[in-house]
Chains A and B, each alone.
Chain A
Amino acid sequence: MSCPGMGQLLSNTLYYKRFFPYYAFNVLGGLDAEGKTITANHVCCVFTYDAVGSYERVGYSTQGSGSSLIMPVLDNQLKSPSPLLLPAKDAVTPLSEAEAVDLVKDISLLMLLYIKEGKQCFSRLCHRCLIYNKNDEVGVVLFGTEGTDNELTREVGGYEHVVVLCESKVVDGDILDAVQRLPRGTVPGDFIDAIVVGMDMMIKKFGVTNKGKKRICLITSAREPIKEPYEGTKEDQIDTIASQMNAHGMKLESIVVRELASNANKNIMDENDHLLSRFSKKAGARVVHVEDPTSLLGAFRTRNISPVTIFRGDLELSPRVKIKVWVYKKTSEEKFPTLKKYSDKAPSTDKFATHEIKVDYEYKMADDPVKVVPPEQRIKGYRYGPQVVPISSAELEAIKFKPEKSVKLLGFTSVSNILRHYYMKDVYIFIAEPGNKEATLAVSALVRAMKKMNKVAILRCVWRQGQGNVVVGVLTPNESNQENIPDSFYFNVLPFAEDVREFQFRSFSGLPASCQPNQQQQEASDKLVMMLDLAQPEKSEDLRPDFTPNPVLERFHHVLELKSKKPDSDIPSLDKTLKRIIEPDSKILLQNRALIDEFCKLFDVKENPKIKKSTRRLWTKTSLDGEGESVHGSLNDHGVPSFNSEGKPIVSQIGDKTPVEDFEAMMARRDGVEWVNKAMKDMKSFIYDLVENSYEGDAYSKVLDCLIALRKGCIVEQEPKQFNDFLRQLCKFCQEKDLASFCKFLVSKQIMLITKAEAIDSDATEEDAINFLVKTEPAT
């Protein structure tokens, strides 16, 4: 007899004697029909009764005289969040769907460069957990630390230089704070030790039974040697660990961060890579190599969405030949979260106020604004020209297009027939039905044949019964290069005839000669295209979409965290790592300055003089912070003639058009001593502004002119201290603001302190002056 059945029986028995009840207090317990699954949610089946048989299934219960004493204890132990909390939390914290993540982080010496990004990664993870998966647990293990602090060392010894920063637990503010104080490591770390410690932590915490998704993320540079194990080879060790991982359902994700460095030991790196790839073979681990901090942020998966199939069924090559496939989404845009509207009507004393706002729609007659038309009196209408054609939902249902659920092949065609820009939507992926060997083979054969022949397939898809439209799209092969990942197809939706607008554009060769680039210009542009190459052969590809985080979402999460600490905090500007996504790499630009300058010189760009200033759109002013300045600056360089200060009778401040002339004019003013000081002061703040607002070093040449002018002015006026102090400050400022490129630029242009020889009051010797910048540079 099943437990619920027994419960009913007992209830009936009690009720049967309701006029003269049994003197009994009943609690009935057992395992329910699915009793074999002892998950946290359904450990058992407990019924509690009143005297006449009214009963209720509960998680736990007490009866009898001690009931009032023991119940609070049970509540405390079993119903961990207080029952007073509103909304009520689940009686038993379910871990079944939650995810447990162990972050294993290399903080050894060579990883120092990435310590900040590592922190950021972790904060990202925590933010996401706090927002999306509140029950996820996170722990942090550091390796390559000076000290050693982990349970395994205490229990069995070994495992040195591995520190458990925090035990696995539900994310809260404490973890975030702990990570912000991430210590810096000093000794080489052994990632295998660290993985073992991480696994140990998970196994101890969750045991074998727990079904939560367990994930170990390893972030390392994998540059230091792995210790020889006590017995067996390193490979054996990996195999053992891998089999343990499989047994406990853990997944390993390793991100290897490594910049192109010559000083690292190649052999060790190769060996480590080999070891890691063995993991991926044995335990399905994922290994990713990244080279810059932005990619590290992007490569680190913070949120695992369990995907849902769009379609399961047959891919029909013909009515007789079919392949079983499953279809998932491959890309799906993660939208900016929708924020609820806030209502301040509820009194501040009301703790349970939701502060939400409901939006209500009322439909009213156009000519009678008082009368509200009830929903049943409304009918849908579609516009057809000036007419609105009413169609009731039932009618619409009856006459609408109803294709049968199916995925059918229309034919194959050559790749060149499908241009890339015809892809309409996010992308689907077709995989063979898991575990179906023949289907996998069939897909694999088609994929490889398509790749070989340069063909794509055209499909007609109706994902499910009752869907009101069909989708025609293109299936492209996705050959897998890992031996344990099967081949698959990508599917992109193509437009219908109605979706394409055939606008005509003039062909470029038909444009007037003034719009045609000459040979020189064409060469410059070729060079530019080659120079700004983001996928140089010896490096890994920059800004791969797969490794690029969404800057807007990152920023939102960051602000969320800031605001949770300080509600009125301002919105910070974009983090430097993320800036890389929206702006070109200043390093490359600076390296190829000559090329870019040539490009700029060859092409003449100017505002159309025919358009009146007032009607001209604010294309220079709408830009954010730094860009406005630079666009403006560039405009001065090209086309619009600069006005010389000669035209102005008195110069009383430094304008941004002709700063040097303004400065000289001010210095030359003899109608008051204060002008010299003011000129210098203005010039300094002007230079600061320029440096700070410059991007990709575009304003540097201007800064240089200003600096030279200032230096000259200071020598003339015998005010070396002004200049020297300023230069020191400026360099310090640059280092703080990550503008190291500017210091380098100064060195290359040989700007130095004013020496004793030049001005007698100077506190700097010749040597100081030369070494000054050289010295500050390596520290950056």
Chain B
Amino acid sequence: MEEDLDDLFRDDDEDPESEFNQDREYSKEMVVFLVDASPPMFAALDNGGDQHEESHFHVALDCISQSLKTQIIGRSNDEVAICFFNTREKKNLQDLNGVFVFNVAEREHLDRPTARLIKEFDCIEESFMHSIGSVHGIMAGSRENSLYNALWVGQALLRKGSSKTTDKRMLIFTNEDDPFGSINGAAKTDMIRTTLQRAKDAQELGISIELLPLSRPDEEFNLSILYADLLGLEGEDIAQYIPSVGEKLEDMKGQLRKRMFKKRKIRRITFSIVNGISIELNTYALIRPTVPGSITWLDSVTNLPLKAERSFICADTGALMQEPPKRFYPYKGKNIMFTTEELSKIKRVSTGHLRLLGFKPLSCLKDYHNLRPATFVYPSDEEIVGSTCIFIALYRSMLRLERCALAFYGSSSQPHMVALVAQDEVTDSSGQVEPPGMHMIYLPYSDDIRHVEELHMDTNVATPRASDDQIGKATALMKRIDLKDFSVCQFANPALQRHYAVLQALALDEDEMPEVSDETLPDEQGMARPGVVNALEEFKISVYGENYDYEASTKAESDAAKKRKAAAETAAMECAHYDWAELCEGGKLNGLTVVELKYYLNAHNLPVTGKKEVLINRIMNHTRKA
């Protein structure tokens, strides 16, 4: 039962089959960021009264930089290229004018993001004007078509890799809705035609082009001028595409960031409702613990990765063997044998799909009915037409009647009873916050629930209950310490941030270890406000009484704790008898017994494990520091 918390990040999913190893669809993603660098992108924006002046260019770079950082943590196999167009300088394989592919040493143009790339990209803005430069885009009288060139370069970059196994995308950041506005006549139609053709060619090669339009404060980005045709959008889709004009720049950033991610579904499942009616659902992992990547063993001399080889050895004879087909389990003094097929048959209690059992009021779903992160389901009409309609009907009924559905999810590795909770769409100025759909919550079985409350039950006497006055004080306290707009994921994981900051520093051979702030610490200033302090004090007095000695109230400590305390005390006493500094310097620690050494360690709260040499080393280290 004791979970090893030390093994901090590896708590679930040892099961390789597990659905939580997502990303089935495409093994890899290749993205080319095409950033417009024409002067209008650099126009200063009024940032909602903020002193800081920002430009669209800055917003785009910010988003890309953030995306790179997430990518290197989560999906480091994906490849990216960053490409500016409408630039003074040119740098690209085709030697086309006005396109600059940004890159750093030891890296191909389209490659996995490296620590160096992220670092240099972060400071590109200062040097941009100087080293790359910005020019106006397509000008009258010139045959140069920078948008066309950019698309061509992007397509050329994405040439490698098969489109079956990789997902190729081009993301265009621009605030110019009419790049061909400055010219007219036959030259214009011709240029538009060739550009559209180029885009179409790219799309036919399996490259999807997406636009991240940056609306200027005064006018909305007009897709229908050019980009609707370029992207192949029609009718309603256009309306979907336009971002709601950002009131604040922050919101625009949020919207862009969300759109830069590509949805990845875990798998497609069927949901059988009643009477053989089944609908098709896609499942998505919206929330999964992010953990530092797995460990690769390296040779400490060459720093080259090692290959792990697994071998099976018979414990009785020592013979090397193949992976055996049979497993056994001791039962009643015998070894009961199972073949792997039998085991998987036992686990397959149901088909691998979701099956509706019924509905329950939401209040039946208790707070302790949880085992693992929920999975999001969204309908799809791809294989079974009509799924979405049924899903929406059920979804609306459930929302209105405040029900959740109970279903059995018979995946082969983890068959589980699940609750499907309908989630209404929530949007705010930064776009969609909660997508519409249902969340599949994995319910525990009776075997998984522990009845801890009953463990310390008082027999015969009623347990103390808070009086109304005490509850009132607690209520007042709650009103004082209220996090009004707490959002679930507002904290970055300090352990993870630290881990990657260290990795980045090491990867770039920096000497200085970065400091990462821990956002999860309580707000000490807020807690020290007189109102809060008073409320706390009142609550304390009402519950604990006036002169309450907090420590004394703790009843007799456990035996182990007592022992530990006693040991520490004697250690401290004994420890004082020796002159440790002298012993260390004279190298006489070897002459002491382990017991004696442990006095020192105990007294200084150091670990006491290990051989004598280890103990001596530890003491030496400690005295040196002191």
Contacts and interface: CB of A to CB of B under 8 A. Distances in A.
B284 to A, nearest CB: 6
Given A346-B316, A460-B520, A508 B310 contact: no
A517 B385 contact: no
Nearest to A411: B483
Interface string A445-487: 1111110110100101001101111101000101010011111
Contact of A436 (B276, B357, B470, B553): B553
A603 B297 CA distance: 56
Contact of B393 (A410, A603, A616): A603
Contact of A496 (B274, B367, B436, B496): B496
Contact of A484 (B336, B382, B463, B513): B463
Interface in B293-336: 293-301, 303-317, 319, 321, 323-324, 326-329, 331-332, 334-336
Interface string A330-347: 111110110111111110
A646 interface: no
A607 interface: yes
Contacts of B287: 421-422, 424, 495, 499-501
A73 interface: no
Interface string B358-393: 111100110111111110101001111111111011
A502 B439 CA distance: 14
Contacts of A564: 331-332, 334, 336
Contacts of A318: 527, 532-533, 536
Interface residues of A, number: 232
Interface in B485-517: 485-496, 498-500, 502-504, 506-507, 513, 516
A588 to B, nearest CB: 8
A399 B536 contact: no
Interface string B178-214: 0000000000000000000000000000000000000
B449 to A, nearest CB: 5
Nearest to B486: A413
B342 A571 contact: yes
Given A413-B482, A541-B364, A389 B506 contact: yes
A529 interface: yes
Given A359-B310, A552-B415, A417 B369 contact: no
Contacts of A449: 471-472, 474-475, 477-478
B169 interface: no
B569 interface: no
B386 A605 contact: yes
Interface stretch (A8-16, A44-52, A258-266, A282-290): A282-290
Contacts of B492: 496-498
Contact of A379 (B3, B297, B453): B297
A660 B5 CA distance: 64
Interface stretch (A20-28, A380-388, A676-684): A380-388
A654 to B, nearest CB: 21
Interface stretch (A203-211, A629-637, A728-736): A629-637
B58 interface: no
A529 B391 CA distance: 12
B93 to A, nearest CB: 21
A674 to B, nearest CB: 35
A282 B11 CA distance: 41
Contacts of B397: 522, 525-526, 528-529
Contacts of B268: 617
Q: Is the interface of B mostly helix, strand, loop or mixed?
A: mixed
Interface stretch (B25-33, B36-44, B144-152, B345-353): B345-353
Interface string B431-443: 1101111010101
B458 A484 contact: yes
Question: Size band of the B side of the interface?
Answer: 35 or more
A363 interface: yes
A534 interface: yes
A344 B356 CA distance: 44
A608 interface: yes
B259 interface: yes
B456 interface: yes
A544 B369 CA distance: 10
B189 to A, nearest CB: 33
B306 A366 contact: yes
Given A341-B327, A555-B346, A596-B274, A503 B300 contact: no
B458 A492 contact: no
A286 to B, nearest CB: 7
A545 B393 contact: no
A383 B324 CA distance: 33
B425 A507 contact: yes
A495 B489 contact: yes
B615 interface: no
A510 B539 contact: no
Given A427-B370, A605-B277, A464 B398 contact: no
A485 B317 contact: no
B298 A381 contact: yes
Given A412-B481, A496-B492, A363 B445 contact: no
A634 B386 CA distance: 14
B1 interface: yes
B593 interface: no
A433 interface: yes
A360 B386 contact: no
A99 to B, nearest CB: 15
B562 to A, nearest CB: 14
Contact of B316 (A354, A364, A448, A517): A354
Interface string B393-419: 111111011010110101000010100
A167 to B, nearest CB: 20
A545 B353 CA distance: 20
A333 B464 contact: no
A342 B445 contact: no
A293 B446 CA distance: 14
A599 interface: yes
B240 A510 contact: yes
Given A305-B450, A431-B456, A496 B328 contact: no
B577 interface: no
A236 interface: no
A421 B374 contact: yes
Interface in A504-555: 504-508, 510-512, 514-517, 521-522, 524-526, 528-530, 532-535, 541-553, 555
A606 interface: yes
Nearest to A578: B349
A460 B483 CA distance: 14
A485 B459 CA distance: 9
B299 A423 contact: no
Given A497-B489, A533-B358, A436 B555 contact: yes
A324 B550 CA distance: 9
Interface string B260-298: 010100001010111111110000111111101111111
Contacts of B458: 284, 484, 486
B482 A390 contact: no
Nearest to A559: B346
B316 A366 contact: no
Given A504-B259, A508-B436, A298 B441 contact: no
Contacts of A390: 298, 300, 303
A532 B277 contact: no
B98 interface: no
A542 B358 CA distance: 9
Contact of B371 (A426, A486, A604): A426
19 contacts: A131-B331, A346-B314, A360-B313, A422-B287, A438-B553, A445-B539, A450-B474, A452-B475, A483-B462, A484-B457, A488-B453, A500-B488, A504-B432, A505-B263, A532-B357, A551-B349, A571-B342, A571-B345, A605-B390
Given A305-B450, A381-B303, A411-B481, 11 more contacts: A317-B539, A331-B450, A362-B311, A411-B523, A453-B479, A548-B446, A574-B349, A589-B275, A600-B275, A604-B385, A619-B384
In the A-B complex, the 8 residue pairs with the closest CB atoms = A634-B276, A449-B474, A339-B327, A445-B466, A421-B439, A517-B393, A496-B493, A505-B435
